[in-house]
Structure 1
Amino acid sequence: MIVNTEGYHALIEYLTEHLAIFANQQGDTGEETVEDIVTDLVASNLMTVFQQNPELDSEVRFTLLREADAVVADLGEVLAG
């Protein structure tokens, strides 16, 4: 779906080239990482989508979950660099 698109790959490339976007410029702001925040946001948004669309087939739900996991994993890889 999303992960295999040209636009998604361009976004990952952009983030990789501009890691300074994620640099902490104001000192330590706490224990939570960008990956933690993104994971929470993705999970809460997926739950909202599922609640708003109870008729979604379970296969579609699993596909969306796999895609979301892949996005979070890719972001984790980018930030680890």
Structure 2
Amino acid sequence: MVTDKEGYIHLVQYLSQHLGLFETPNNQHLIDDTVMDLFESQLAAQIIMVCGQNPSLSFGQRNQVIREIDAIVYDLEEILANVANKKATEAQSVFISEFSGLIKNLFDQEIAFVLAKGTA
């Protein structure tokens, strides 16, 4: 659905270009959540919104969205392996929120395309 699209590849590259943000200097305030906890909760919230905004998605299409999110989380775990379980900073939290919103945008675009194709 989205993990095989060029937009997703660009987002992975964008994350890779910003990996320096995930090197936590000792003087930054840490929040209670880990980097992966934030990614997982933000992505879950975005996908709940995607499904809520698209009630016409079939059960199979919703399952496909969930499988895609699982694949994205797996990719994130691979990319962020060295920092996934470290406490996050405020700046990391902001980045994760923005990145998760971009993932949602990919789903929004793909779902709009799939639904339009289904009605054509």
Shared fold (TM-score, shorter chain, > 0.5): yes
Aligned mates of 1:66, 1:72 — CA distance in 2: 10
Aligned twin of 1:35: 36
Q: Which has the higher strand share?
A: 2
Aligned twin of 2:22: 22
Q: Provide the aligned length of Structure 1 versus Structure 2.
A: 81
The secondary structure found in structure 1 opposite 2:30 is coil
For structure 2, list consecutive stretches of 5 or more residues without a partner in the other structure. 83-120
The runs of at least 4 consecutive aligned structure 1 residues that moved more than 6 Å come to none
Aligned mates of 1:10, 1:54 — CA distance in 2: 28
The secondary structure found in structure 2 opposite 1:37 is helix
Verify: 1:63 aligned to 2:64, yes or no.
Answer: yes
What whole-Å deviation, never above 9, does each CA across 1:43-80 have from its counterpart, x for those lacking one? 11211222232221011101111111111110111001
For structure 1, list consecutive stretches of 5 or more residues without a partner in the other structure. none
Q: Could you tell me the percent identity over the aligned residues?
A: 37
What TM-score comes out, normalization by structure 1 length? Answer: 0.76
Q: Which has the higher contact order (CA 8 A, sep 6+)?
A: 1
What TM-score comes out, normalization by structure 2 length? Answer: 0.56
